[in-house]
Structure 1
């Protein structure tokens, strides 16, 4: 239903990179270039400036971009309206997910949703909580599943599942399988997620509430993924706090052990975020309702405190 050249244009405008746009669209880079050249020839203007080793939108490209986005939105609305006449959902939905949710929960949620809505096409964008909220407000995604407080007023946040974070250490660590006081953490090296991570914000707040100032911690390396964090702990670079969902395999294999920390409450809620305002409609609304109603049933078995 949508002009394909405009779809290619939007992808290049989003990434400002022809290779990344080609990967998103499952095309070759020359095919992307060909589509952009054809669109530029049709409009008799240059849409991208490729000088200086970087890609930027020209003034003509900037002028076209909002119209291309609006046309894409209209095409999706038309598809959804037609599908609604037959009692079903159809169209494309783009979901943002912070990393723990994206890796451990989202695949099952999507599988369950698509089983009930086979004519829906779902795309996923991943990143930390802050990045996913920015993607939501930039209309790159229609809904965002996040694992930290939203910390902004322009989004609506609905909790859909409780999570608990656990402290893990290498199997040979002196604290492995033991209980320690919160003050003991000041003597350890703590490896953490990057700034902007919902997980990091939760941990820092919990430790502060337990009386341990962040400035007194020996913070080691930071990682932009939970898997990197767990690998660092396995390598003996420190201890870490991670979601109970993330550490199931390592605990089963015995490469990591839990450390119980007295006086530290690390419960949090996984949430689904939409743009502030009325209830979401269309595919975003359908997915929103599905997550709130079905997430608990579809989640895999977790480990640690709060496991089912």
Structure 2
């Protein structure tokens, strides 16, 4: 077998340069000097007998050969990480790492509770949580950067045949209004009453906003007729705005458990309408699944109850 013209360290360095955007930042992230990084790249190019970076560019821009090596190098490093984690699993959850992904609302309000339950049982396992849009999280699972994820949006169509998507639980969406609003004194409001409210919403490009609009449409509620007073970029900001009397909003029930308990916002029920979305668990069926990921799926996700109007959080 011929000797390999590159080392794992050189692949790590190449990956770090592109991730960080420069040789200097890559050196800082790897805790080595910039000259050492440059020397490793020079040696790599000499061993391969082909340039990897565009010398005419001020930025760290790869040549076609550089991009090819980066793509295969990422797969090689990914397999190395899987190998290390598989060996750690032999210790029967006495160590190792679990990387979980989640979309924005799920990651903010649901996952910390789930991770807390897991940490109580397996304190030696290092748990990392990555919270991004459903699209970014789905790609991270597909690329093997995340063990499993719980999402509330739709997986990108190009990944639906690659990832294993399992329905997890229904997440109810609540219409919240200020406690001082006249509708807080009635048992139920009518669909038509929604068009009289002033609304606070997430940005139109938000995945959660799109999911809510789609579900409302399925219940013959036209969100395009809503009077949108303001658009905010976080659920916390929306809850605070509603609490301050600025308008109404649709949010996940999992995000308002504390506020409902304290009585600082009101959950207005719509007659004959229950609005729910499905949360899903996604994994890559062809990637190595660690014992920590399997345990999290079997012991934690099956124990947790999503709050509804008749339930609160429970273990």
Match of 1:163 in 2: 171
Q: Provide the C-alpha distance between the structure 1 equivalents of 2:112 and 2:277, rounded to a whole number of angstroms.
A: 21
Measured after TM superposition, the shift of residue 273 of structure 1 is 0.9
Q: Given the alignment, which residue of 234, 243, 248 partners 1:239? A: 248
TM-score after normalising by structure 2 = 0.75
1:38-57 correspondence to structure 2 within 5 Å: 38-44=39-45, 47=53, 56-57=61-62
Any runs of at least 4 consecutive aligned residues in structure 1 with deviations exceeding 6 A, and if so which? Answer: none
Measured after TM superposition, the shift of residue 106 of structure 1 is 1.6
Considering fraction of residues, name the structure with more strand: 1
Change (3 A) 1:163 1:46: same
Q: Given the alignment, which residue of 99, 104, 123 partners 1:99? A: 104
Q: Provide the C-alpha distance between the structure 2 equivalents of 1:172 and 1:48, rounded to a whole number of angstroms.
A: 63
Match of 1:213 in 2: 222
Query: Tell me, which stretches of 5 or more residues in structure 2 are unaligned?
Result: 1-6, 46-50
Measured after TM superposition, the shift of residue 306 of structure 1 is 4.2
Q: Secondary structure at the match of 1:180?
A: coil
Change (3 A) 1:29 1:286: closer
1:13-162 correspondence to structure 2 within 5 Å: 13-14=18-19, 16=21, 28=28, 31=31, 34=34, 36-44=37-45, 47=53, 56-88=61-93, 91-114=96-119, 116-117=121-122, 120-150=125-155, 152=157, 153-154=160-161, 155-162=163-170
On the 8 A contact 1:167/1:240 being kept in 2, the answer is yes
On the 8 A contact 1:16/1:55 being kept in 2, the answer is yes
TM-score after normalising by structure 1 = 0.76
Measured after TM superposition, the shift of residue 164 of structure 1 is 1.4
Q: Secondary structure at the match of 1:66?
A: helix
Match of 1:251 in 2: 260
On the 8 A contact 2:105/2:252 being kept in 1, the answer is yes
Deviations 1:267-303 (A, max 9, x none): 233221123x56x6422x742552354225356x846
- Of residues 30-39 and 71-80 in structure 1, the stretch that sits farther from structure 2 once superposed is 30-39
Measured after TM superposition, the shift of residue 215 of structure 1 is 2.7
Larger Rg: 2
Deviations 1:237-277 (A, max 9, x none): 421111112112333444322211113221233221123x5
Measured after TM superposition, the shift of residue 56 of structure 1 is 4.3
Measured after TM superposition, the shift of residue 204 of structure 1 is 1.9
Measured after TM superposition, the shift of residue 193 of structure 1 is 2.9
Q: Secondary structure at the match of 1:265?
A: coil
Change (3 A) 1:190 1:63: same
Paired positions, count: 297
Q: Provide the C-alpha distance between the structure 2 equivalents of 1:49 and 1:109, rounded to a whole number of angstroms.
A: 49
Q: Secondary structure at the match of 2:200?
A: strand
TM-align CA RMSD: 3.7
Change (3 A) 1:170 1:12: farther
Q: Given the alignment, which residue of 276, 279, 291 partners 2:297? A: 291
Q: Provide the C-alpha distance between the structure 2 equivalents of 1:32 and 1:190, rounded to a whole number of angstroms.
A: 52
Match of 1:269 in 2: 278
On the 8 A contact 2:147/2:289 being kept in 1, the answer is no
Q: Provide the C-alpha distance between the structure 1 equivalents of 2:259 and 2:224, rounded to a whole number of angstroms.
A: 30
Q: Provide the C-alpha distance between the structure 2 equivalents of 1:196 and 1:143, rounded to a whole number of angstroms.
A: 25
Q: Given the alignment, which residue of 302, 309, 312 partners 1:307? A: 312
On the 8 A contact 1:160/1:292 being kept in 2, the answer is no
